[in-house]
Amino acid sequence: MVHALEPTARHPAPLQRLARMVAVMRHEPALAIGAVLTLAFAYLIVAPVVSILLQAVVVQPGDSARLHQGEGAFTLYYLARAFASRMSGILLWGPLVHTLTIAAGTVALSVSLGVVLAWLVNRTDLVGRGWFATALVVPFMLPTWTFALAWTTIFKNGVVGGQPGWLQAMGFATPNWLAYGTLPIIVILVLHYTPLVVLIVGNALHRLDVQMEECARILGAGPRMIAFSIVLPLVRPALLSAALLIFADCIGEFAVPYILGLPVNYDTLSTGLYRALSSRQTGVAAVLAGAIMIMGVVTLMIDLRMMREARRFVTVGGKGGLQRRQSLGRLRHLAALLPAAVVLIGVALPLLTLFLSTVMILPGRFTPDNFTLDFWIGSNLHTVALRNGILLTPEFWAAAWNTVRIVGIAAAISGTLGLLVGYAVLRSPVRLIGQVLRQITFLPYLVPGIAFAAAFLSLFAVSRGPIPALYGTPFILILALVAENMPFASRSGIAAMTQLGREPEEAARVAGAGFLTRMRRIVIPIQAGPLATAILLPFISGIKGVSLFVILAVPATDVLTTYSLRLLDYNYDQAANAVVLMIALIAWLGTVLIQRICGTGLARGLES
Amino acid sequence: MPDILLQGLTKTYGKGAAPAVDGVSLTVPHGEFLCLLGPSGCGKTTILRMIAGIEHATGGTILMDGEAVDSVDQARFVPPERRRVGLVFQNYALWPHMTVARNVDFGLRLQNVSPAEREARCRDVMTKLKIADYAERYPAQLSGGQQQRVALARMLAINPDVLLLDEPLSNLDAALRLEMRAELRRIHETFGTTIIFVSHDQWEAMTLASTIAVMDRGRLQQVGSPDEIYARPANRFVAEFIGNPRINMVNLADTPARAGESVAAHLAARLPQAAGASVCGIRPEEIRLVPEVSGDALCVTVAGIMPTGGSWVIELAHGADRLFFSTQSRPKVKPGERIGCLLPDEALHLFDAEGRRLAIPGYGLCEAA
Ligand SMILES: Nc1ncnc2c1ncn2[C@@H]1O[C@H](COP(=O)(O)OP(=O)(O)OP(=O)(O)O)[C@@H](O)[C@H]1O
Ligand SMILES: [Mg+2]
């Protein structure tokens, strides 16, 4: 027999509510995971950021005599010095103008170029579309400083010592504006970031429901009308997001201005920061780091705001269907010159230049007797050090092994943590933990690598409490890399867990599976693809990375990037370029692997 | 001993939101076949999820076999993995990375059943549900109906004490639905499993369940056998929700001055003793047509005839009022014809101003047709 009872409405006492909460939460591992992760990231991310910001306003070691204040006392000296002193032009304003010029120039040029290329590749019957779609992405996979080194190989002039550039060696004096500074930096960054625009905008074009265009066509709109009143507005969110991403990246860019600016005292904020750090002006360095962070925050706010507006266009995620392509007629061959030129200048030329430079004894002399494979595989060379070709040098292999080990471990950790963050954010019954985690893990995105490295150095160089001094060990590099990777890793983890939904896991719970079984048998296998991407992408960017290593690596923890920079410092240009080529090779192989594993996942991963 | 007992069960998602489930108290004895019936969004799924344990109550208690598995007052909560219930999700939630066979034997693996027995039990369940042919396919390669059966097989395989089904037949075609219905009934009879299933298809509920619990906006409206619910609806909502075509509802409150101009006036004149009644309902099949207008018959015009496959619904007009009449035999009237219609006292369901059923001797005694 069944009968309805009277409802019993009651309000439990606070203590009872607490007991109840404990009873329920005990079975929600997401909460514990979230709490542990929050604590860990508070230490790994928030503490360094706070510490570096604090350094801007307290007296730094070594400055107390000059400032007549005790170490650690509050001071506005560094702010005043950076913003309003005789030095501020050199310290802050000059670099700031350079940084903004570079970032704005890069964004403007790469977006214009990228949109045209994306349209050509995705929406027209251009010759060799499929091939270009792949080839155009390659420059983004190469480290930016590959281009920078190729540039110096060709254009370097007599202003700085060492081997001259090819043009100089052949008797053309290259002017400074061509060899160093704004122009080459912008050209290189445009080459590097245009593929990103092609990827993101291409992806948006791809998802655009053709029916919307067809509908407009039926109503009598011409191609131009459709492009400007339908396609462009709908693709605009993707476009803006790509532009802001590039802007933020350019502000933090270190390696290119390091190679192309530092020799002629051309500073951006990040190289200025590096210079301040290496001349032990930690206070000023902190001010510069703060300036970069503020710019990052502002960019991000704009991005968030635009994203919110973009939500109104949710229809963009249409099914696609048959893509109509614009016929270019006879122009379809001619138009292919543009992407061909980009591939030539962005991939073929730099790689070929670098490769040639590694097989030539003297730069710029194209005679048979000047070519040799000694720098790769020679032995008993007549040099002061490095008497073997790079492939026969134990230091090279040690550095390569170090790189793969350190970056690989860091990437695996951050990928896994990213998935756990996704789990905690979406499953935690306490909403606050999810929100805090989301924000914390995104914080490193606002902090340029070089500033972050500086913060890590100041925080972990000495032993604090239970944590021993980590400087000089691989651990500090791994921790810094993990923290630096968290924005991407957590974003992709959250996206993956959102897509999974909670029901597959709930079904497993009902079937009797405990937390570990659920993770092992349900969540991780379903997320294998996203997890692989979340590990491989940070791996590639870690291999290419410079700024963290430049500050945190010591000879014992040499990685390929620092190894090649050191070779460069000692004027072993050929060997340095050979190492760079090997880095590019590893990065490219990793990218191919990702494309294999998850198809178009790359574009989606970069967008999130 | 009752198997499942809900006491004042309440669930509120987030502060300030209207409760999705509001003080539901219900006893489900062992071996019961109960259907939760109600319009979309009334909290049916939420109740199932709370019984399964993947949602926790914000008020009240759930007892299973006398043990509190979720009690706000006693601060107790037993997680789903220890409740021995099976839940078939509204949208299946199959594991996309496992084949059908692996989906089905997942639960058995967790129970450390020997491989031979596991194999045998899975075969058996998959054969019964007609999915054995797809054992090696992945969920993405199945149709909606096949997926639904895999979801059912996955839960049947672990032989739970209680089986919770969230609209388990919604995606099947008519023939398969009949077959699966028979299969569900057979499972219920053979294993004696307590089954609670959710539906918003009243016909399915009527034919399958031994008890129906009707819900609206998170509250339980009435619990009873299908006959009871149909013949003696506890309130206006139940009366209107159950029955197809819908019950005719006449608002007695707005009676115009002269009788004979509205159905309300006609009824009000006949119901002197039922002063508290504000609404009167009569099911379409309880109305009787008479050839000519006699003493207490209502004079109506045939406004339309709609065949509904083996039965007919006839729209009757009386002034501005409309009454629907349904019959199993081919109607002999023509549109525009004037005839008389009888509204028998015992077929009148009376409700007060709050919509509660009024128990007045002589009224609303009809048995289900
Ligand atoms: N996770 C959630 N957060 C907030 N509100 C929810 C959540 N799940 C359900 N609700 C709300 O609770 C109410 C009851 O939902 P429920 O899913 O139980 O309805 P239902 O009766 O199963 O409906 P249907 O027949 O459409 O499946 C709805 O108003 C719904 O919007
Ligand atoms: Mg539901």
- For A425-460, the DSSP string reads HHH-SSHHHHHHHHHHHHGGGGS-HHHHHHHHHHHH
* Pairing of the two strands B162-166 and B194-199: parallel
pLDDT surpasses 90 at A204: no
* Complex confidence, ipTM: 0.82
Region B84-104: mean pLDDT is 90
**Which of A5, A27, A509 is the closest to B7 by Cβ?**
A5
Distances from the Cα of B280 to the Cα of A143, B71, B248, B364, angstroms: 80, 41, 8, 10
- Which strands make up the sheet holding B248-251, listed edge to edge? B248-251, B279-282, B349-351
> Which residue has a Cα nearest atom 31 of ligand 1?
B41
User: Which residues are near ligand 2, the ion (C-beta closer than 5 Å)?
Assistant: B 45, 90
Is A522 part of the contact surface with chain B (CB cutoff 8 Å)?
yes
Chain center to CA of B274: 30
Among the ranges given (A291-300, A334-343, A516-525, B17-26), the one the predictor scored with the smallest mean pLDDT: A291-300
Between the CA of A41 and the centroid of ligand 2 the distance, in Å, is: 38
- Hey, which residues does B37 pair with through a beta bridge? B199, B214
For chain A, give percent helix, strand, coil, nearest 5: 75, 0, 25
Q: Mean pLDDT lowest for which of A236-240, A242-246, A557-561?
A: A236-240
pLDDT one-digit tens code per residue, B275-297? 678 889 999 999 988 887 677 78
Tell me if B167 sits within 8 A of B5, measured CB to CB: no
Identity at B160, one-letter amino acid code: P
H-run or E-run covering B63: strand B59-64
Ligand 1 centroid – CA B19 distance (Å) = 10
- Cβ atoms within 10 Å, residue A210: 15
Contact state of B95 with A522 under an 8 Å Cβ cutoff: yes
pLDDT in tens, A579-605: 989 988 888 887 777 767 665 444 444
Which of A211-225, A325-339, A437-451 is predicted with the least confidence, judged by mean pLDDT? A211-225
Cα separation, B9 vs B53, in Å, equals 13
B222 touches chain A (CB under 8 A): yes
Per-residue model confidence (pLDDT) at position B273: 62
**What's the pLDDT band for A385 if we cut at 50, 70, 90?**
low
Burial of A129 (0-12, 13-18, 19+ CB in 10 A): middle
Using one digit for the tens of pLDDT, what is the confidence trace for B158-189?
A: 888 899 999 888 878 888 888 888 888 888 88
Which of A265-269, A359-363, A500-504, B264-268 has the largest mean confidence? A265-269
Longest CA–CA separation in chain B, Å: 81
At how many degrees (to 10) do helices A560-569 and A394-427 cross?
A: 140
Residue type, B128: K
Closest alpha carbon to B23 in B41, B39, B11, B35: B11
Model confidence at B257, in pLDDT bands (50, 70, 90)? low
Q: Which residue matches tokens 């608002």?
A: B251
Helices (runs of H) and strands (runs of E) counted in chain A: 35, 0
Helix (H) or strand (E) holding A343: helix A337-343
Q: Are B56 and B77 in contact (CB under 8 A)?
A: yes
What pLDDT, on the 0 to 100 scale, is given for residue B258?
54
CB atoms within 10 A of CB A566: 17
Q: What are phi and psi of B223, to 5 degrees?
A: -125, 130
Determine which helix (DSSP H) or strand (DSSP E) holds B215, and give its type and residue range: strand B211-216
Name the burial class of residue A301, with classes exposed (0-12), middle (13-18) and buried (19+) by CB atoms within 10 angstroms of its CB: exposed
Residue A456's alpha-carbon distances to A49, A258, A484, B307, in angstroms, are 9, 21, 11, 80
Could you tell me how many residues make up chain A? Answer: 608
pLDDT band at A358 (very low <50, low <70, confident <90, very high): confident
The Cα–Cα gap between A303 and A308 comes to: 9
Q: Are A7 and B22 in contact (CB under 8 A)?
A: yes
Chain B residues lying within 8 Å of A501, measured CB to CB: 93
> Computed from CA positions of residues A374, A376, A380, A381, in that sequence, does the dihedral angle turn out positive or negative?
positive
Residue A26 CB neighbour total at 10 angstroms: 12
The pLDDT of residue A39: 93
> pLDDT > 90: what percent of chain A?
15
Q: How far apart are CA B138 and CA B233, in angstroms?
A: 46
Cβ-Cβ contacts under 8 Å, A513 against chain B: 81, 106, 110
Measured between CB atoms, does A14 come within 8 Å of chain B?
A: no
pLDDT at A484 over 70: yes
The verdict on a CB contact (< 8 Å) between B106 and A511 is yes
Any atom of ligand 1 within 6 Å of the Cβ of B39: no
Q: Rounded to whole angstroms, how far apart are CA atoms B316 and B331?
A: 13
**Average of per-residue pLDDT values in chain B:** 88
pLDDT tens profile B41-50: 999 999 999 9
B81 touches chain A (CB under 8 A): yes
User: CB B22 to CB A26 under 8 A?
Assistant: no
Q: How far is CA A418 from the centre of its chain?
A: 16
CA-nearest of A36, A27, A24 to A509 is A27
Distance from Cα B40 to the centre of ligand 1, integer Å: 8
Q: Is A12 on the interface with B (CB under 8 A)?
A: yes
HSE (CB half, 13 Å, CA atoms) of A286? 27
Average pLDDT of chain A?
82
Q: What is the pLDDT of residue B368?
A: 41
B363: left (phi over 0), alpha (psi -120 to 50) or beta: beta
Report which DSSP code applies to A577: H
CB distance from A13 to chain B under 8 Å?
Answer: no
Which residues in chain B (23-42) have CB-CB distances under 8 A to chain A? Answer: 23-29, 32, 34
Q: What is the pLDDT of residue A9?
A: 46
How much of chain B is in helix, strand and coil states, percent to nearest 5? 30, 30, 40
pLDDT band at A309 (very low <50, low <70, confident <90, very high): low
Of ligand 1's listed atoms, the one at least distance from the Cα of B218 is 14
**Ligand 1 touching residue B42 (CB < 6 A):** yes
Query: Which position has the token pair 């084949």?
Result: B99
Residues B148-152, mean pLDDT to the nearest whole number? 90
Ligand 1 touching residue B214 (CB < 6 A): no
Q: How far apart are CA A115 and CA A339, in angstroms?
A: 12
B92: which residues sit within 8 A by CB, 6+ positions away?
A: B139, B147, B148, B150, B151
pLDDT value for A604: 46
Ligand 1 atom with the shortest distance to the CA of B36: 21
Question: Over 50: is that where the pLDDT of A318 sits?
Answer: no
- Closest C-alpha to ligand 1, atom 2: B13
Ligand nearest the Cα atom of residue B37:
1
**Is the Cβ atom of B41 under 6 angstroms away from ligand 1?**
yes
d(CA B18, CA B15): 9
Could you tell me which residues are beta bridge partners of residue B11? B21
pLDDT confidence tier of residue A322, bands split at 50, 70 and 90: very low
Contact between A198 and A235 (Cβ < 8 Å): no
Asked if B79's CB is within 8 angstroms of A19's CB, the reply is no
**A285/A79 Cα distance (integer angstroms):** 10
B46 lines ligand 1 (CB under 6 A): yes
Q: How far apart are CA A365 and CA A369, in angstroms?
A: 9
Within an 8 Å CB–CB cutoff, is residue A508 touching chain B?
yes
Q: Looking up tokens 């490095």, which residue turns up?
A: A386
Q: Would you state the pLDDT for residue B234?
A: 93
Q: Scan for tokens 């379809």, then name that residue.
A: A332
- d(CA A120, CA A122) in angstroms, rounded, equals 6
Give the model's pLDDT for residue B274: 55
Burial class (CB in 10 A: 0-12, 13-18, 19+), A476: buried
Q: What does residue B61 show for φ and ψ, rounded to 5 degrees?
A: -140, 145
Under the banding of pLDDT at 50, 70 and 90, the label for residue A210 is: low
Give the pLDDT of residue B62: 95
Q: Alpha-carbon distance B280 to B346, whole Å?
A: 12
pLDDT average, residue stretch A545-549 = 83
Q: Beta-strand (E) ranges in A59-200?
A: none
A501: left (phi over 0), alpha (psi -120 to 50) or beta: left
Using only the alpha carbons of chain B, give its radius of gyration: 25
Contact between A149 and A580 under an 8 Å Cβ cutoff? The reply is yes
* CA B369 from centre of chain: 18
Please answer yes or no on whether B211 and A526 come within 8 Å at the CB atom. Answer: no
Answer with the residue of higher pLDDT: A200 or A339.
A339
Rg, chain A, Cα only:
27
pLDDT surpassing 90 at residue A8:
no
- pLDDT tens for B357-369 read 988 777 776 544 3
* CB < 8 Å from A in window 121-150 of B: none
Residue nearest to atom 18 of ligand 1 (CA): B43
